[in-house]
Amino acid sequence: MSKVVDALSILLVLGASLAFAVGVAALGERRDLAALYWLAIGGLVLRAAVELLRPRSSTR
Amino acid sequence: MSEPGEAPHPLRPPSPAFVSNGQSALGSLRDRANTLLPGLYAWVTTVLLPSLNHGAPNSARFTALLALLALLAAPLLVSARPALGRALGIFGFIGCSLLTWLLLGPGLVQNPGDPLLSALGAVAFTLYALGWGSQRRRGVVPEDAPNVILGAPLLPRSRPHPIAPFVFGLVIASALVPIFLAFRVAEPERSLFAHAAAVLAAILTITVGARVATSLGQRRPFPASAERLNAAAVPLALSALLFGLGFLWLVVR
């Protein structure tokens, strides 16, 4: 199970990077709403990757 | 660690690699190729080409030449006079390049249709900066240095997973994608925001990616996998919600 979670965290980081890239590309195409959407997605997915690594103490 | 200039350890003779030797100019340039080559590329693409424009002032061309001289002189001096060599290589070269860009003003944008050249120049400047970091020479063992403190070696608490370097490399490569894409944004205002967002995204991605890579395969008694998934449930649920809203918007539109 731990390996699966490790693999999931790697996928989340790569997915976040992809979302950031799509957001920046959308910014260049004048699609501001889509850019903000993808940047927000990237931030949230990256946050999820962090939480997978070190959950907060309140959840323990 | 001992201070530079401190007397060598009496029990340990200095290693020949640490003794100052008279190197030829060609050998010095070859040894510093990791800084010289990216520096030359960065200078050509981002300093020389804009300075060769018809409207470029002579002062900008002069400072561009000074930047090149600083770049070439730094490897020659760094062995005999390290402080002066580093000052010329870092502050002299970067300072003269910066002065050239300031003197060029609006003429700096010499070829707006080729953002790839600008992006590669920025990467070359990054490699140049990394090249000036202290680096162990080939064949030199750090423990053979005359100023090393003798004692039992410190053992690492854990060994990294074999795939950790590949994961970290993949993360770095993926973090560079938004940086390159930001150069494709043509409008100045959007371009500034795109660059800021891309740099922030790259920093965040590399920070989290490094943590992921170093924590791979570690036997942690706590937290358990289920707790880790529970902790990530909120951001994952928000991501899924945003994905769903985006999909709905695509369908409705």
- Over residues A7-17, the pLDDT tens digits come to 888 899 999 99
Kindly list the residues from chain B whose CB atom is less than 8 angstroms away from the CB atom of residue A27: 185, 190, 193-194, 197
Dist. CA B19–CA B145, nearest whole Å: 10
Q: Number of folded domains in chain A?
A: 1
Same domain, B16 and B106: yes
CB spacing of A47 vs B235 below 8 angstroms: yes
Domain annotation covers residue B192: yes
Same domain, B22 and B101: yes
Region of B114 (left: φ > 0; alpha: ψ -120 to 50; beta: rest) is beta
Predicted local distance difference test score (pLDDT) of residue A14: 92
Dist. CA A8–CA A48, nearest whole Å: 10
Kind and range of the H or E run holding A29: none
Closest Cα of chain B to A51: distance in Å? 5
Domain annotation covers residue B63: yes
pTM of the model: 0.55
Q: Tell me whether residue B4 is exposed, middle or buried, using C-beta atoms within 10 angstroms of its C-beta: 0 to 12, 13 to 18, 19 or more.
A: exposed
Closest Cα of chain A to B198: distance in Å? 7
- DSSP label of B18: G
Express each pLDDT in B56-108 by its tens digit: 888 989 999 999 999 998 888 887 888 888 898 889 999 999 999 898 887 77
Residue A2 pLDDT exceeds 60: yes
Domain that holds residue A7: 2-59
CB spacing of A46 vs B205 below 8 angstroms: yes
List the single residue in A16, A25, A56 with the smallest CB-CB distance to B181. Answer: A25
Share of chain B above pLDDT 90, in %: 15
B28 φ, ψ to 5°? Answer: -65, -45
Domain annotation covers residue B89: yes
Q: What does the mean pLDDT of chain B come to?
A: 79
Dist. CA B106–CA A26, nearest whole Å: 27
Region B228-235: mean pLDDT is 78
Predicted local distance difference test score (pLDDT) of residue B2: 40
User: Which residue, among B227, B235, B211, B221, has the nearest Cα to A58 in the 3D structure?
Assistant: B227
CB spacing of A10 vs B231 below 8 angstroms: no
B250 φ, ψ to 5°? Answer: -65, -40
A37 with A23: CB under 8 angstroms?
A: yes
Domain annotation covers residue B78: yes
Same domain, B107 and B193: no
User: Which residue, among B235, B194, B69, B46, has the nearest Cα to A12 in the 3D structure?
Assistant: B235
How crowded is the C-beta side of A37, counted as CA atoms within 13 Å? 16
Pick B177 or B113 by higher pLDDT. B177
Domain end among B83, B112, B141: B112
Domain annotation covers residue B65: yes
User: Which residue, among A51, A46, A31, has the nearest Cα to B233 in the 3D structure?
Assistant: A51
Domain annotation covers residue B242: no
Same domain, B39 and B103: yes
Tell whether omega for the bond before B223 is within 30 degrees of 0, i.e. cis: yes
pLDDT-wise least confident of B20-34, B198-212, B220-234: B20-34
Pick B201 or B185 by higher pLDDT. B201
Express each pLDDT in B189-209 by its tens digit: 788 888 889 989 999 999 999
Kindly list the residues from chain A whose CB atom is less than 8 angstroms away from the CB atom of residue B243: 41
Domain end among B93, B112, B131: B112
Dist. CA B29–CA B19, nearest whole Å: 19
CB spacing of A24 vs B178 below 8 angstroms: yes
Q: What is the ipTM of this complex?
A: 0.86
Kindly list the residues from chain B whose CB atom is less than 8 angstroms away from the CB atom of residue A52: 228-229, 231-232
B 193-212 residues with CB below 8 A of A? 193-194, 197-198, 201-202, 204-205, 208-209, 211-212
Domain that holds residue B25: 12-112
To test the contact with chain A by mutation, choose from B161, B172, B180, B181 the residue with the greatest count of A C-beta atoms within 10 A, namely B181
Kindly list the residues from chain A whose CB atom is less than 8 angstroms away from the CB atom of residue B217: 3, 6
Same domain, B16 and B103: yes
Dist. CA B46–CA B214, nearest whole Å: 36
Q: How confident is the model at residue A38 (pLDDT cuts 50, 70, 90)?
A: very high
For residue B234 the two structure tokens come to 């909120």
Domain annotation covers residue B240: no
Q: Number of folded domains in chain B?
A: 2
Domain annotation covers residue B119: no
Tell whether omega for the bond before B10 is within 30 degrees of 0, i.e. cis: no
Instruction: Determine the residue type at B181.
Output: L
Pick A28 or B134 by higher pLDDT. A28
Predicted local distance difference test score (pLDDT) of residue A16: 93
